[in-house]
Structure 1
Amino acid sequence: MAKITDAVDPGNAGGSVLIPEIPTLPNRPVTFHCDKCGEVFTEREARRQHVFDHHPFKRPQLLVGSRMVKERGEVMASQFLPADWIIQQAERIVIDQQDVSSQEACRRLSKIISGFHEVTLTSADYSVTYQIEFDIPTEAQLLAVEKAFNMLIVNQPLESERIAQFITVAKREDGGRYYIEGISDFLYGVLAKDQRGGTSLNRDDYTAKFHAAREALHFMDRPLANLIKALVNFNDNAFSEAEILAPGGQVAITCRILNGLRSGKHCPPLETRTASGHNLPVDTLTAEIMRFCSLPLAEQQEQLPQLAHLASKSLTTEHDRVKIQALAMNTCWEAGDHEPAVSWARMLRHSPLFETLANRIIEDVEND
């Protein structure tokens, strides 16, 4: 039987095959072209820097009230004027599958009060879609929530059952859902942090409750909502943000003092005692810190052992402990008690918040 290979002509008796002559070309320099404008570069890095400087990536953005809108899960619980809505870097705008101009988009967004809506912004480089839920209560509904809060929470012992009662009464108005959630989450967070009022929450749950409250009230511009957000920021040691939201009363005084200490400056205590200025229930540590900051120097000296005792307790959070240490350091220094001031300063010499002032106090005493 013939083999398949028998039909193959090896040609040249299986020898080598001549390769046609390949013409040689002169070496040409390697170049890199910009896809945007066509400019030619001799180095890849030069092209990269050119694109970075002259053709920056343009990502569309949607802002309201100077704050970024989240792409997913954003809830608008407060109405804004057309001028408060800002669209950046968008060449095409689509709201609920309808093309609109930038001016029309801002006008339309300012009028929506309920439902889920989709906003797509497109630039030459990128497209981003925002999915926004609008749940904007009427002024009457907001006032009803605040009335229930004043009736059931203000000047009353804070307990789980009372918070549940507030939620029940406030929900009868069928509005202000996120207002109610933000207030109640904050109040439950206070109970969790103090472990009182019949709470079933663990102590560590207070942080999640506080942050949930701030998120629910994110776009709500009401005095009560702003005070809650300010107190959450204060608990997180974000003093500047807290003072902006609550520019009056004990919250603002305390934030100004702690911000001064953070910037490395001594802060003389107030000359006279200052009243609270708010009726919102707060946790014990926050109340003690704000009360201490509202006292004149002589009273601060009297109250310092009590405040120092709180700093030594195992249940005191690290955020609160560092605030107490900074206030104790400042009080001792202002009173001329430099030795205890240095002892407090040594606890803060590696603190990201107060290390500047702590190290300055240590150096001043050591160099005397």
Structure 2
Amino acid sequence: MGPAGCRERELRMGFWHTGYSEFHEPTGFGDWTGPDLTMRFDCERCSASFNSLEVLRKHRFEAHPLRQPRAFFQGFELGAQTVRIRSPFASGDFEFALAQEVRVNGRAMPVSRVAPHLALLRDEFVNLDLIGTGVTVSHRVDIRIARDEDLKGVEAALLRIAGLRRLTVETIQILIRECEAFESAKDFVQGLTRYLYGVLAKERAPSSSLHFDEYLRYFNEAEQTLAGFDRPVARLIRALVAFHFNRFADARRLAPTKRLRTAAGAFESLLAAKQGGSGAFGAPFSSKTDSAIEALLTDIHSESILAWLASGLDGMAGALGNLEAALEHPWAEYDKLKIRLMLAESCLVRGDDQRARQIARELIGLPETETWAEGLLGRLQAKDVNND
């Protein structure tokens, strides 16, 4: 399979759903299982990583005993950025530490009453001032809970757009018009459409007036906007954005579909392996999707990468010409890094040690690929010793 062509063509897939169950039954995404519960929890103040939220909390207060008040939402510490909440939450999702008093939009409130008060809000921008001993820390929380029926209406409209089997500026405008009535879900619509416009820019679609580089801003804005929505479509878009930006652990954790989760896990394992990294690419898997939504949302370059990776090492080794050709095309550098990884491992299988070594040396200076590159060069060195 060579590099895919222009997006403004008919989208193809093995089977097209036509029912609304795509969003509400696990089978709608083929193998939808929700977020990966094996996720890691990283400390915001150091490089430590933990397998549970409770252990992270213990670490924070033992290793970083700051005396200033602190606030947490669903386990993550509030910082300088506005926290956007778009899905219903419980009072237990908010936690406060070392605060003697909290002011909510200027109104003093006992700490024990703040979280229950916030959980009752549905459409309000909140300024939180945490008052401690001689210090006040301020945070911003934007709460706009979308009505479930509005979210369902947007998802149904997106499914109808996917049924058109084309992604163009016109189809995005149709989606916007169909969603005008869903007022409480306007941020959801904005996140979806920003992403879709970003896809067209990335693919250099003729109908798009955006420059290629603008896709970066559109992808980032879509990811930030959709972060507050706990919906399969939102998670899929965030996973696709993370996969594109080579944040493979995030993509694997968020991905609601098997092929994207498998691909992200393969790259994640490859980059973490000091020896024998090619095993991460060994087993073929299905690159097809039975979801109209996934077919619509996956850009053509990611589709090509998924197809090559799904063919396994032997399949990639038989497509070296296509992989090399993709590096000559004006693809995003984030995509080309994935291609270089696949190409190097494939060259090693085919016996082209010189090309594999060249790619490893090119990537050894990047933090995200240093471990893999050192491992591949080590494998090549061991191979040379054995041959001698």
TM range (shorter): 0.7 to 0.9
Q: Is 1:279 equivalent to 2:295 in the alignment?
A: yes
User: Which of 192, 196, 200 is residue 191 of structure 1 equivalent to?
Assistant: 200
Residue of 308, 323, 330 corresponding to 2:324? 308
Paired with 2:363 and 2:81, the residues of 1 have a C-alpha distance of: 40
Call closer, same or farther: CA 1:154–1:106 in 2, change over 3 Å. Answer: farther
Q: Does the aligned pair in 1 maintain the 2:232–2:256 contact within 8 Å?
A: no
**Structure 1 200/123 Cα, relative in aligned 2: closer, same or farther at 3 Å?**
same
Matched residue type, 1:305: G
Distance 1:131 1:353 in 2: 33
**Correspondence for 1:242:** 251
* Number of aligned residue pairs: 315
CA 1:210–1:154 in 2, change beyond 3 Å: closer, same or farther? farther
Shift of residue 291 of structure 1?
1.8
2:115 corresponds to: 106
- The one of 222, 226, 236 equivalent to 2:231 is 222
1:329–1:342: 8 Å Cα contact kept in structure 2?
Answer: yes
1:205 equivalent to 2:214? Answer: yes
- Deviations along 1:86-136, whole A, 9 cap, x unmatched? 222211112233333333211111111012233221111321233333221
Deviation of the 1:61 alpha carbon: 2.6
* Cα contact 1:64–1:84 (8 A) shared by 2: yes
Aligned partners of 1:249 and 1:275 also within 8 Å: no
**Equivalents in 2 of 1:217, 1:190: separation in Å?**
16
For residues 72 and 63 of structure 2, what CA distance do their matches in structure 1 show? 25
Pick closer, same or farther for the CA change 1:194–1:57 going to 2, 3 Å.
same
Partner of 1:353: 368
Matches within 5 A, 1:1-368: 57-71=66-80, 73-154=82-163, 156-196=165-205, 198-246=207-255, 248-264=257-273, 265-266=277-278, 267-276=280-289, 278-313=294-329, 315-334=330-349, 337-366=352-381, 367-368=384-385
In 1, the alpha carbon distance for the partners of 2:63 and 2:227 equals 36
**Residue 275 of structure 1 contacts residue 294 of structure 1 at CA under 8 Å; is this kept in 2?**
no
Q: Structure 1 72/241 Cα, relative in aligned 2: closer, same or farther at 3 Å?
A: closer
SS in 1 for 2:318: helix
8 Å contact from structure 2 (residues 101, 130) kept in 1: yes
* Structure 2 partner of 1:16: none
Q: Give CA-to-partner distance per residue, 1:234-272, whole Å, 9 cap, x none.
A: 222111111111154222111111111211322242244
Pick 1 or 2: higher relative contact order, CA cutoff 8 A, min separation 6: 2
What residue ranges of structure 2 are gaps of 5+ in the alignment? Answer: 1-61
Deviates more, 1:240-249 or 1:204-213: 240-249
What do the CA deviations read for 1:219-241 (whole angstroms, capped 9, x no partner)? 21111101111111122211111
Residues in 1 aligned to 2:190 and 2:234: alpha-carbon distance in whole angstroms? 11
- CA distance in structure 1 between the partners assigned to 2:284 and 2:218 by the alignment: 36
**Alignment check: 8 A CA contact 1:71 1:130 kept:** yes
TM-score by length of 2: 0.74
Alignment correspondent of 2:50: none
Gap runs ≥5 in structure 1: 1-52
Matched-pair contact (CA < 8 Å) for 1:217–1:229: yes
C-alpha distance in 2 between matches for 1:126 and 1:240: 37
> Kindly tell me: are residues 54 and 329 of structure 1, through their superposed partners in 2, closer, same or farther at Cα, counting changes over 3 Å?
closer
Distance between the aligned counterparts of 2:351 and 2:259, measured in 1?
25
CA distance in 1, matches of 2:252, 2:118: 30
The alpha-carbon distance between structure 1 residues 146 and 362, as it changes in their structure 2 partners (threshold 3 A), is: same
Across the aligned residues of Structure 1 and Structure 2, the Cα RMSD in angstroms comes to 2.4
Of residues 226-235 and 94-103 in structure 1, the stretch that sits farther from structure 2 once superposed is 94-103
User: Between Structure 1 and Structure 2, whose CA radius of gyration is higher?
Assistant: 1
Residues 129, 136 of structure 2: 8 Å contact kept: yes
Deviations 1:270-320 (A, max 9, x none): 24434336334222221211222222333222333212211222x222211
| Residues 201, 215 of structure 2: 8 Å contact kept | yes
Residue 292 of structure 1 aligns to which amino acid in structure 2?
A: W
Distance in 1, Cα, partners of 2:170 & 2:319? 34
